Amino acid sequence: MGDLAVRRTGGRQARLGRRARPQEAAAVAPESLVTTSANPDGPTLVLACGALANEIIALRVQLGIGDDAMVLQCLPAELHNRPGQIAPRVDAFLSEHRHKYARVLIGYGDCGTGGALDKVLERHEADRLPQAHCYEFFAGTPLFNQISEAEIGSYFVTDFLVRHFDRLVWEGLGLDKRPDLLESYFGNYRDLVYLAQTDDTVLQEQAQAAAEKLGLAYRYHRVGYGDLQPFLASAQSQAVHV
């Protein structure tokens, strides 16, 4: 499947992924054993986390890829807090729809699935982003490792998570009803690290407010789209050479 099929799970990257999110569900085995095949005349499918929808749409425009050449489908961003459901949801979608598409790109890293997502993708001939999670592929592995090594207690957020902080983090973790749990969830963190895709002063102010709400120091890095851009561009390159 090429370089993009090289995937890392476990070890140091998995530990960093666990530190990047405050709540983690145990990974579960895929429910389906369906193996699907490609349609050489079909478009490319991007099946992604809903947290990446705006970025993928923006990149598709930048790259000049039309809707007819690249179809975007998103799973709920709430799976960020329930990674054990990611592999079964991806499996169910591809089992039903894989035959329509020439190539499938998965807009996830391992994202806490403990290798379960990779097992699904092998059966459906699909490629995912090779990093452990979105924080790493937005920042790029060298910068992400640098930040993580400098301060192990970093809680990462992106544009999407800043926009939806109250719904996905504060309310999603039940802190609106049980603020006494704040120390349990975030007591081992020191910094809120905002990995920004855009230069948006409003989002920067919201990220600072989120850091204050969590009792964390605020750190900002403008990283753009990181490795998501070449990942999507690879589909364009393949289409040109077919």
Sequential DSSP letters for 30-54: -S--------TTS-EEEEEEGGGHH
Q: At 18, list the tokens.
A: 């666990």
Q: Are residues 211 and 146 both part of a single domain?
A: yes
Q: Are residues 163 and 128 both part of a single domain?
A: no
Yes or no: say if 18 and 194 are a contact pair by the CB < 8 Å rule: no
Q: Are residues 211 and 231 both part of a single domain?
A: no
Determine the Cα–Cα distance for residues 216 and 190; give it in Å rounded to an integer: 5
Yes or no: say if 133 and 7 are a contact pair by the CB < 8 Å rule: no
Burial class of 40 by CB neighbour count within 10 A (0 to 12, 13 to 18, 19+) = exposed
Q: Are residues 16 and 110 both part of a single domain?
A: yes
Determine the Cα–Cα distance for residues 176 and 57; give it in Å rounded to an integer: 32
Q: How many domains does the chain have?
A: 2
Domain span at residue 67 reads: 3-132+225-241
Determine the Cα–Cα distance for residues 104 and 18; give it in Å rounded to an integer: 26
Q: Are residues 13 and 40 both part of a single domain?
A: yes
Q: Are residues 187 and 237 both part of a single domain?
A: no
Closest CA relative to residue 192, chosen from 166, 210, 180: 210
Q: Are residues 233 and 150 both part of a single domain?
A: no
Q: What is the pLDDT of residue 38?
A: 82
Q: Are residues 15 and 121 both part of a single domain?
A: yes
Q: What is the pLDDT of residue 57?
A: 96
Q: Are residues 118 and 156 both part of a single domain?
A: no
Q: Are residues 181 and 125 both part of a single domain?
A: no
Q: What does each of the 242 residues of the chain score in pLDDT, given as a tens digit?
A: 333 333 333 344 444 444 445 444 445 555 667 788 788 899 999 999 999 999 999 999 999 999 889 999 999 998 988 899 999 999 999 999 999 999 999 999 999 999 999 999 999 999 999 999 999 999 999 999 999 998 889 999 999 999 999 999 999 999 999 999 999 999 999 999 999 999 999 999 999 999 999 999 999 999 999 999 999 998 765 543 33
Q: At 8, list the tokens.
A: 């890392």
Q: What is the pLDDT of residue 7?
A: 35
DSSP state string for 109-178: --TT-TTHHHHHHHHHTEEE-SSSSHHHHHH-HHHHHHHHHH-S-EEEE-HHHHHTIIIIIITTTTTTT-
